Each structure stands twice: as structure tokens, then as C-alpha cells.
Amino acid sequence: MAISSNSTNGCDAAVIPEDRNCQWRVAARPKGNVVLEDFAWVEEPIPRPRDGEVLLQTLYLGLAPVMRMYMLGTGTAGEKPLEIGDVIHGRGTARVMESRHPDYQVGDMVQGQMGWQTYKVSAMTEQEKFFKCPGFSLPYALCAGVLGMTGLSAWAGFIDCGKPRSGETVVISGAAGGVGSLVVQMAKIRGCRVIGIAGGDEKCAFIRDLGCEASIDYKADNVAQKLAELCPQGIDLYFDNVGGEILSTCLEQLAMYGRVVLCGSISEYTRAEPFGLTNYTRLRRVNGSMQGFFVYNHLHQWDEAMTEIATMIHDQGLRPVQDMVDGFENMPEALARLYDGSNVGVQCCRVRGEPQGEALTTDIGGQP
Amino acid sequence: MAISSNSTNGCDAAVIPEDRNCQWRVAARPKGNVVLEDFAWVEEPIPRPRDGEVLLQTLYLGLAPVMRMYMLGTGTAGEKPLEIGDVIHGRGTARVMESRHPDYQVGDMVQGQMGWQTYKVSAMTEQEKFFKCPGFSLPYALCAGVLGMTGLSAWAGFIDCGKPRSGETVVISGAAGGVGSLVVQMAKIRGCRVIGIAGGDEKCAFIRDLGCEASIDYKADNVAQKLAELCPQGIDLYFDNVGGEILSTCLEQLAMYGRVVLCGSISEYTRAEPFGLTNYTRLRRVNGSMQGFFVYNHLHQWDEAMTEIATMIHDQGLRPVQDMVDGFENMPEALARLYDGSNVGVQCCRVRGEPQGEALTTDIGGQP
């Protein structure tokens, strides 16, 4: 990783001004993993809200693999394609600093589409998908990840699409990642037998600690052979964060009526040619299914998901693992961590929040 | 098609003896489409049943794409892999000629695993999956196809796995084939808007006549462009008989929450390298699913399926289209028709039945 913040592209970490809106914009389309030259640092005056708008100050930003797609200018159903020079899309947690919007007051904590910037004026449109941070007695920092889009992804993919049943053998790839580390724990909570796939000893130890009965190190192990040993009856549910060869290997070992949930395909992001899945016909033999999902298609389930995740944290031992990078100047590095496999848990960046996150002050009665 | 029955491999069509058990066996592993040299004609004495066995005389045989896999020695979940010299697997309709089995009487009509032969002695084991021909007022010939495994495939794949809803846009590839021609009609009966894909003008006219609102000729049309025109809201349900490029094209045009049912992949059978499906990630964007099925996994639904198909024939206008080749000597040719796209409807062979099929004499009251 060649990314470092003390470079020549305009960002001097020592003097990030509080009275300016600092931004990271697309400077170039990434080739392979992102490098610092793909980003441009811009400082602007803090914008002023007009009637119907609020001024938001960024506290935490979440990072997700889709962001490289944004930078490539690829359209996604959720966000508009980016041109060179645009502020990069990114959801995070923010505090309302000034409000001329009837539904928001100064001090309100929200999460939504902030972009990679330290301030934003917003009319809180439907497109930006802002939610007030839930009133659970949990740190606000979580709203950038575990109680944000990453949590919704894990819940929507595993609980809603995967429909896990107690006693099933569940295999999860990218198990130490943002979504993966949550799904491992959700699977355990739902009574499944969990096998995790991750890269390296450290991550494998981490996912076993999270609840995996066994781990497979895809960098060192023969994945097919280990799966066959660990899942002699086949895989009931495979939660796929990586696509490519590991998806193909798991398809080959699906149990009768086995299901695959396609969540992500991180292995595809930096590949020159897309992977060709030749054994899709395997689904026929075992009456298997492969179900994809996109988190933006599940926004209507936001409240249900957040409530269940908070319950899992409070009552069922779910550990919110967030890999927190400190400092907005380090956003490019934080993003690169996703593609070189550095992150453990949900990758976030503390922009202006407290180092340990900020406790929510409202603990709504009757809710977890 | 170079197959002709007046060849030198031992079968003389003029003298197929009634007092011998005539068989087609595997002579060689097919390369590309089957050719006559892949088959060996054998005549044996008619076998005698022992206690617990019956002697069956073959009336009709059904033909299915899977048979080339059998000949290649590929194991399938349903039948044992064939060695060179083995009688080829094949299900069909037969009459009980002699019975030393408590459950069967002379004259009973059954369907099940006969193999490519004119007589068989059987203990009617679980493995052979024999069923008595249903007591509907329909010709016995149908039991080799429409009321046999082909019908079960159509029903299991489309009704049970596909879960069609009235008003949905359904696309069916291989729409003029055995399963396809049934699914087109089932989709129409279920109130769907049906687009069929087939090869050539004649087949396209045929599937429009069966109930397709529009047809796409994959040999002449730009399939992607026609689909986009015909399905501006996308495809709700794609029933895939072919795999490969057309599957990929349909995946690209799935509607939100669209489903794919994988029934067959005839385009893969004669391909040197399997097709690599690169756009499986498309399922993510639209929360789509791809569900495979194998007809042998649905045998427990046999009665339900046959009853519903018979009801469709009697009351809802389903036309049982069977492409009947006359004469057991022509079985190799009948099989080759599946891979060169010649067959229209369910491919069957009349071995010893009446040319128009035989009417069932029992019309069970209360049943259709």
C-alpha cells in the first residue's frame, strides 16, 4: 500500500481546517487497487443552508467495496455515476449544526449520504436516504457501520434472503470483513454451524473467536478439500462476499436444497476479466438456489433490521467490530484496506467524532 | 443428421423380431451429436420372470437430452453411469405380459425405467421408479412423455420452483422442445405473458400457436435487442432450457426480484468447454434468484403433477404435443433430433404401440 497522507496532492494532515469544508474527490479512475493519485483534496468554504436545508458536520464515515465502483464511474442503482472531479459518495454519521428544515433540529444525529467531505448542506432528499440515528444506548460511531448500511447488508442478505435455520451448516467467505464479521455472529446466534473463510492466520483466529466452529485460510489452505472435510453433508447456506473461484468451489459442495446468497464479489473488483462461473449447472443437481441482493433494495426494512441488530448487540452477544481509521485525511488509505484485505470488521473513519465514539444519550424505553 | 436405420451395425428395420428382446446399447462415447456408430444393436432371447418379477413389453419410449450424458458415462443422480456395452437408460410405457409379482397383473400398463429394449424383466424396484399409468381418459402414449418425466419436469420446474404469478412476463428458451412446449402452455394457463425463444420460423410459428404472445428466433434475431423490446419492464421469470449465452442475455434483463429456473442446458451438451457465466453478479442488483432443479428430486410430487397436467389437458386447453418417431429401430435418430433442434414437442418413439397411441380404458370417476 503506497498510500500515505503526507503527500503532495494537497492534503496536509497537520492542518485540516475546521472552518473549511474539506473534501476528497475523484482525480483518476482506479486501476487495480486505489492509490493516492486517484484522489484529489479540495477545500471550500463551509456552505450555508437555505430554507428547507440543514448544515451537517461529518463525524464518522463508513467505507464499502462499492466505492471503487463509484470512482470508476460505474452507475449503481443507489447513487449517480461519478465524473472526474466529483466528491466521492459515502455514507456516514453527522450532527445537524444549523437547520432551516422543519424536521431537523440543531444537535440531531443522522446518518446518510454525506459524501467524502467534512460538511454538507442538504435538503435531506429521498435520494440521500438519511435516517436519524436510532435511539439505542450505543455509540453513534456504530451508525456509520454496524448500525448503518453494513449492518443492513448483513441482515438483509443473511436473515431476509438466506433464511437460516437452526442446525444448518453455513459457510461465509470474507468472514473477517465488514459484512462477514456480522454474518458470522448472526449465524451463530441463529443456531447455525458456522465455517468461515478468510485470509491469513490472524483473521482466521479472529473469526473463530467470533463464533466460527472452523476457519479456512484461502491463502494457505486447499479450500475445496477443507470444505469437504468440514462439511461432509455439504453446505446448506453459502454467504458469498467474494465471488469467483471460491463461489465456484462452494457451489460444487452445496447440499441438497442448498442456497447461495450473493452479497459481494470483492475478488472481481480488481480482476481484469470477469470470472466465468462454469458450474452454475450444479444448482440443477441439488435443487439449489443462488439469490442476489442489493442493500438499497432493502431500505424499507431499515427499522426492522436496526432493531434486530441492536437486540443482538444488547442481548445476544453480537460484538460490533469496527475497524476505525482515525482522521479524514486517511480516507484513501482506509478504502485501500478493503481491497488488500487489511480490514478486520467494518471499515470506518473517524472524521470528527470522539475516538471511542459518542454514546447515544437517548435510550428509548421499550426498545433495546 | 447422418443417422439412418438401414445401416450395417446389425439392425435391419425390416425384420425386428417380436420373439426376441431387441436392444440398443452404448457402442462408443459420443463426440458432438450422437451418430449411429455410437450405438450397438443386440438381440437376445426374451427373458423369463422369476418369483417377484414381471415381464414387460415396451410400447413407447421417451427421449430426453440427458441420454447423451448417460452414453458419456457421466453419473447422474437418477441412474447409474453406463459402461460401453450397457443397454441405454430410457423411460417409457410398457404392458405387463406375465406377472409373478403380487402388485401387478397381466395387461397392467406401467411407465418407468425400461431401457432401450423391447422387453424387460423387472422386480419393479424402487430404483426403476415404475408408476402405473394414470387412469385418465388419455392415450397411453402420453405416459412416455407429457404424462411422464417430461411432464413432471415442466411441472416441477415451472409450477413448483418458478411459482408463476398471473400477469408476470415469462420468457422460455427451448420453447418448442419437450419441456418448453409444455411450460409455454402452463404459463399461458396461469395467466402469464409468455415470450418464447426457439430456432427457426417453423418453431416460432408453432410456439406462438401454443400461446406465446411473441417469439424470438435465436438463429436469426438479436436476442438481447428483441428481449429489450418485448420486455420493457424486464423479465419476471426466465425458464432456461439451454444455458450458455441465452441464459446470460436473459440474466442481464431480469426485472427487480426476477427469477431464473434452470431446467436444462442443451447448449452445453455439445460444447467443448463449459460456458462461463460472467454476469451472475447481475442477480445482486435486482435481488434476483436462480433456482436449479432435477426432476428426480421431485418424484414425491408425481401424483400431484400428473393430476394437474391431466386437468390442464382436459379442462384448460393444454395440447400434449409429442413428436413421435415410429419404430424402435429409429431410436438413435430420435435421440439425435434433440441435439440438432429437430424435435417439436416431446420426443417419443413408438416401439409397439398403436400409431395413434392407445386410449386408456379406465376413466376414473371424479378425476379429470
Shortest distance, CA A285 to any CA of chain B (angstroms):
5
Paired residues of B26 in beta bridges: B39
Paired residues of B359 in beta bridges: B139
Q: Do A281 and B243 touch (CB under 8 A)?
A: yes
Q: Does B200 map to a domain?
A: yes
Mean pLDDT of chain A: 90
For residue B285, give the 3-state DSSP assignment.
helix
What's the ipTM?
A: 0.87
Q: Do A77 and B279 touch (CB under 8 A)?
A: no
Q: A226 with A327, same domain?
A: no
Question: Given A296, A312, A329, which residue is the final one in a domain?
Answer: A296
Domain range for A90 is 13-144+320-350
- A355 pLDDT above the threshold of 80: no
pLDDT band, very low/low/confident/very high, at B137 (cuts 50, 70, 90): confident
- Give A224 or A6, the one with higher predicted confidence: A224
- Could you tell me where the DSSP H helices lie in B55-121? 66-71
Q: A135 with A202, same domain?
A: no
Mean pLDDT of chain B: 90
DSSP characters over B199-268: SSHHHHHHHHHHT-SEEEETTTS-HHHHHHHH-TT-EEEEEESS-HHHHHHHHHTEEEEEEEEE---HHH
Q: Does B191 map to a domain?
A: yes
The predicted structure's pLDDT at residue A329: 95
Mean pLDDT of A257-281: 88
SS (H, E, C) A342-366: CCCCEEEEECCCCCCCCECCCCCCC
The predicted structure's pLDDT at residue A11: 63
Shortest distance, CA B288 to any CA of chain A (angstroms):
5
- Give B310 or A13, the one with higher predicted confidence: B310
- CA-based R_g, chain A, Å: 21
- A78 pLDDT above the threshold of 80: no
Paired residues of A111 in beta bridges: A93, A131
Q: A225 with A258, same domain?
A: yes
pLDDT band, very low/low/confident/very high, at A101 (cuts 50, 70, 90): very high
Q: Does A308 map to a domain?
A: no
Q: B83 with B169, same domain?
A: no
Which residues of chain A approach chain B closer than 8 Å at the C-beta? 76-77, 161, 243, 247, 256, 262-265, 268, 274-294, 297
Contact criterion met (CB below 8 Å) for A29 and A358 = no
Q: Do A297 and B243 touch (CB under 8 A)?
A: no
Contact criterion met (CB below 8 Å) for B54 and B101 = yes
The predicted structure's pLDDT at residue A2: 38
Query: Could you say which of A274, A287, A290 has the minimum Cβ distance to residue B297?
Result: A287
Query: Could you say which of B279, B287, B293 has the minimum Cβ distance to residue A284?
Result: B293
The predicted structure's pLDDT at residue B365: 30
- A340 pLDDT above the threshold of 90: no
**Residue A325: how many CB atoms within 10 A of its CB?**
21
Q: Do A286 and B277 touch (CB under 8 A)?
A: no
Query: Could you say which of A275, A287, A297 has the minimum Cβ distance to residue B292?
Result: A287
Q: Do B278 and A277 touch (CB under 8 A)?
A: yes
Task: Please report, for residues A35, A42, A287, A337, A339, the alpha-carbon distance to residue A2 in angstroms, rounded to integers and kept in the order given.
Answer: 7, 21, 46, 11, 13
- Which 8-state DSSP code applies to residue A87? B
d(CA B37, CA B84): 12
Shortest distance, CA B351 to any CA of chain A (angstroms):
30
Contact criterion met (CB below 8 Å) for A274 and A267 = no
- B363 pLDDT above the threshold of 60: no
Q: Do A280 and B263 touch (CB under 8 A)?
A: no
- A318 pLDDT above the threshold of 90: yes
pLDDT band, very low/low/confident/very high, at B165 (cuts 50, 70, 90): very high
| Residue numbers in A near B262 (CB within 8 A) | 280-281, 283-284
pLDDT band, very low/low/confident/very high, at A368 (cuts 50, 70, 90): very low
- B261 pLDDT above the threshold of 60: yes
Query: Could you say which of A247, A263, A284 has the minimum Cβ distance to residue B294?
Result: A284
Nearest CA in chain B to A153: B284
Cell of B309: 397436467
Cell of B3: 443417422
- A59 pLDDT above the threshold of 90: yes
- B96 pLDDT above the threshold of 60: yes
What is the CATH classification number for the domain harbouring B66?
A: 3.90.180.10
| Residue numbers in A near B281 (CB within 8 A) | 243, 262, 265, 268, 274, 292
Mutate to test the interface with A, among B261, B287, B298 (most CBs of A within 10 A): B287
Q: Do A279 and B281 touch (CB under 8 A)?
A: no
- Give B135 or A94, the one with higher predicted confidence: A94
The predicted structure's pLDDT at residue A80: 87
Mean pLDDT of B343-353: 90
Q: B172 with B251, same domain?
A: yes
The predicted structure's pLDDT at residue A188: 98
d(CA B169, CA B235): 6
Q: B111 with B26, same domain?
A: yes
Q: A139 with A154, same domain?
A: no
pLDDT band, very low/low/confident/very high, at B266 (cuts 50, 70, 90): confident
Residue type (1 letter), A226: K
Tell me which residue of B126, B23, B22, B130 sits closest to B82, measured CA to CA.
B23
Number of folded domains that form chain B: 2
Total-model pTM: 0.89
Q: Does A134 map to a domain?
A: yes
Tell me which residue of B363, B304, B343 sits closest to B62, measured CA to CA.
B343
Q: B122 with B162, same domain?
A: no
What is the CATH classification number for the domain harbouring B213?
A: 3.40.50.720
Q: Does B6 map to a domain?
A: no
Which residues lie below 8 Å from residue B8, measured CB to CB, with a gap of 6+?
none
Q: Does A306 map to a domain?
A: no
Q: B325 with B247, same domain?
A: no
- A364 pLDDT above the threshold of 60: no
d(CA A265, CA A177): 12
- B304 pLDDT above the threshold of 90: yes
Mean pLDDT of A332-355: 88
Tell me which residue of A47, A30, A31 sits closest to A39, measured CA to CA.
A30
Q: B40 with B137, same domain?
A: yes
Q: Does B77 map to a domain?
A: yes
Mean pLDDT of A182-206: 97
- B103 pLDDT above the threshold of 80: yes
Q: Does A218 map to a domain?
A: yes
Which residues of chain B approach chain A closer than 8 Å at the C-beta? 77, 161, 243, 247, 256, 262-265, 268, 274-294, 297
Nearest CA in chain A to B156: A287
Contact criterion met (CB below 8 Å) for B169 and B159 = no
- B124 pLDDT above the threshold of 70: yes
d(CA B86, CA B84): 6
Q: If 0-12 CB within 10 Å is exposed, 13-18 middle and 19+ buried, where does residue B273 land?
A: exposed
- Could you tell me where the DSSP H helices lie in A211-265? 223-230, 244-252
DSSP characters over B156-216: IIIIIIT---TT-EEEESSTTSHHHHHHHHHHHHTT-EEEEEESSHHHHHHHHHHT-SEEE
Q: Do A285 and B77 touch (CB under 8 A)?
A: yes
The predicted structure's pLDDT at residue A358: 56
Q: A40 with A120, same domain?
A: yes
Q: Do B280 and A268 touch (CB under 8 A)?
A: no
The predicted structure's pLDDT at residue B2: 38
Nearest CA in chain B to A263: B284
pLDDT band, very low/low/confident/very high, at A312 (cuts 50, 70, 90): very high
The predicted structure's pLDDT at residue A121: 98
Q: B83 with B71, same domain?
A: yes
Q: Do B256 and A297 touch (CB under 8 A)?
A: yes
Which of A13-17, A156-160, A274-278, B47-51 bottoms out in mean pLDDT, i.e. has the lowest? A13-17
Q: Do A286 and B292 touch (CB under 8 A)?
A: yes
pLDDT (tens digit per residue) in B20-77: 999 999 999 998 889 999 999 999 999 999 999 999 999 999 999 889 989 999 866 6
Mean pLDDT of A328-335: 96
Query: Could you say which of A275, A276, A294 has the minimum Cβ distance to residue B284?
Result: A294
Query: Could you say which of B275, B287, B294 has the minimum Cβ distance to residue A292?
Result: B287
pLDDT band, very low/low/confident/very high, at A136 (cuts 50, 70, 90): confident
Query: Could you say which of B276, B277, B293 has the minimum Cβ distance to residue A287?
Result: B293
How many angstroms separate the first and last alpha carbons of chain B?
41
